[in-house]
Structure 1
Amino acid sequence: MPSEFTGKHVTVAGLGVSGVPAAKVLHGLGAHVTVVNDGDDERSRAQAAQLEALGVTVRLGDGDTLPEGTELIVTAPGWKPTKPLFTAAEEAGVPIWGDVELAWRLRGLDGREPAPWLAVTGTNGKTTTVQMLASILKAAGLRTAAVGNIGVSLLDAVTGEEEYDVLAVELSSYQLHWAPSLRAHSATVLNLAPDHLDWHGSMEAYAADKGRIYEGNHVACVYNVADKATEDLVRAADVEEGCRAIGFTLGTPGPSQLGVVEGLLVDRAFVEDRHKNAQELAEVSDVNPPAPHNIANALAAAGLARAFGVSAAAVRDGLRAFTPDAHRIAHVADVDGVSYVDDSKATNTHATEASLAAYESIVWIAGGLAKGATFDELVAGAAKRLRGAVLIGADRALIREALARHAPEVPVVDLDRTDTGAMLQAVQEARRLARPGDTVLLAPACASMDMFTNYNQRGDAFAQAVRELGA
Structure 2
Amino acid sequence: MGSQEVSTVDWQGKHVTVAGLGVSGIPAARALHERGALVTVVNDGDDERARAQAAELEALGITVRLGDGATLPPSTELVVTAPGWQPDKPLFLAAAEAGVDIWGDVELAWRLRGTNGRKAAPWLAVTGTNGKTTTVRMLASILQAAGLRTAAVGNIGVSLLDAVLGAQEYDVLAVELSSYQLHWAPSLRAHSAAVLNLAPDHLDWHGSMEAYAADKGRVYEGNTVACVYNAADPATEDLVREADVEEGCRAIGFTLGTPGPSQLGVVDGILVDRAFVKNRQKQAQELAEVSDVNPPAPHNIANALAAAALARAFGVEPAAVRDGLRSFRPDAHRIEHVADIAEVAYVDDSKATNTHATEASLAAYDSIVWIAGGLAKGATFDELVTGAAKRLRGVVLMGADRALIHEALTRHAPEVPVVDLDRTDTGAMSEAVEHAARLARPGDTVLLAPACASMDMFTNYNKRGEAFADAVRERAETSA
The TM-score range, normalised by the shorter chain, is: over 0.9
- Structure 2 residue 50 is matched with structure 1 residue 50: no
SS in 1 for 2:194: strand
Match of 2:178 in 1: 172
Match of 1:126 in 2: 132
1 CA distance for matches of 2:83 and 2:459?
Answer: 22
Match of 2:379 in 1: 373
Letter of the structure 2 residue corresponding to residue 143 of structure 1:
R
Spell out the pairing of 1:70-469 with structure 2 (5 A cutoff). Answer: 70-469=76-475
1:111 CA drift (Å): 3.0
1:126-154 deviations in Å (ceiling 9; x for gaps): 00000000000000000000000114210
2 CA distance for matches of 1:281 and 1:67?
Answer: 54
SS in 2 for 1:11: strand
1:468 CA drift (Å): 1.1
1:110 CA drift (Å): 2.2
1 CA distance for matches of 2:120 and 2:295?
Answer: 34
2 CA distance for matches of 1:302 and 1:195?
Answer: 26
1:3 CA drift (Å): 5.8
1:112 CA drift (Å): 2.4
Answer whether contact 2:119 2:169 (CA < 8 A) is retained.
Answer: no
Stretches (4+) displaced over 4 A: none
SS in 2 for 1:364: strand
SS in 2 for 1:271: coil
1 CA distance for matches of 2:20 and 2:119?
Answer: 31
Between the two proteins, the alignment pairs up a number of residues equal to 470
SS in 1 for 2:39: strand
SS in 1 for 2:93: helix
What is the RMSD of the two structures over their aligned residues, measured on CA atoms? 0.7
2 CA distance for matches of 1:249 and 1:289?
Answer: 17
1:463 CA drift (Å): 0.4
The two structures have a TM-score, normalised by structure 1, of 0.99
- Structure 2 residue 42 is matched with structure 1 residue 36: yes
2 CA distance for matches of 1:242 and 1:19?
Answer: 37
Structure 1, unmatched stretches of 5+, are none
1:240-281 deviations in Å (ceiling 9; x for gaps): 000000000000000000000000000000001000000000
1:27 to 23, 29, 33: 33
2 CA distance for matches of 1:161 and 1:338?
Answer: 49
Letter of the structure 1 residue corresponding to residue 325 of structure 2:
L
Letter of the structure 1 residue corresponding to residue 192 of structure 2:
S
2 CA distance for matches of 1:108 and 1:434?
Answer: 56
Letter of the structure 1 residue corresponding to residue 471 of structure 2:
A
2:66 to 47, 55, 60: 60
Structure 2, unmatched stretches of 5+, are 1-7
SS in 2 for 1:163: coil
1 CA distance for matches of 2:56 and 2:201?
Answer: 35
1 CA distance for matches of 2:55 and 2:230?
Answer: 47
1:362 CA drift (Å): 0.1
Answer whether contact 1:3 1:30 (CA < 8 A) is retained.
Answer: no
Letter of the structure 2 residue corresponding to residue 76 of structure 1:
A
SS in 2 for 1:168: strand
Report percent identity of matched pairs: 85
Letter of the structure 2 residue corresponding to residue 231 of structure 1:
E
2 CA distance for matches of 1:120 and 1:377?
Answer: 27
